Amino acid sequence: MNDKQQMLEVYLKEYEKLKDEQTQRIGFRDNLLYVTLGAFGAVISFALANTTNYYALLVIPWVCLILGWTYLVNDEKISALGRYIRLNLVEKIKEQTGHTDIESIFGWEIVHRSDRRRKRRKIEQLIIDEITFVFSGVIALVAFRFLVTQFPVTIHILW
């Protein structure tokens, strides 16, 4: 086996590992939505079970912040992996094989980004993310404010 073939095998193995990581991150990121909804449900059911538990609503914005940040970090890594494959790895494989039409091999990495409805889907996803990770925290704060009329100054400042 010559050097070019060895390097090609290395690059293809790298591609396989990068796709594995990307797939795992996508699964983790998507499950964060369910974890967030579950956390909201648990906190809200606890908070509404007794009037003394209304302060638990103040936990929801923190849950939104932490899980939303984790969601964004994973989403960025997923995009970075795709960018690396499209811009770097494809070029390395082209160099090793001498083929300029490598898109026929890694077509999905490029084609799925050229879908004419992609921009609309991205906007829809942004709206869903904003509702999940921002709007729900704001609603929890507003609900707390209406449910609890008398609270300490420190809570008022934090609110």
- Whole-number Å distance between alpha carbons of 8 and 58: 54
Specify the higher pLDDT residue, 100 or 30.
Answer: 30
Burial class (CB in 10 A: 0-12, 13-18, 19+), 45: exposed
Mean pLDDT on 78-106: 84
List, for residues 35-61, the tens digit of each pLDDT value.
999 999 999 999 999 988 999 999 999
**Is residue 102 predicted with pLDDT exceeding 80?**
no
Q: What is the DSSP letter of 53?
A: G
pTM for the predicted model, two decimal places = 0.84
Residue whose tokens read 């396989």: 16
39, 132 Cβ separation under 8 angstroms: no
Mean pLDDT across 115-138: 92
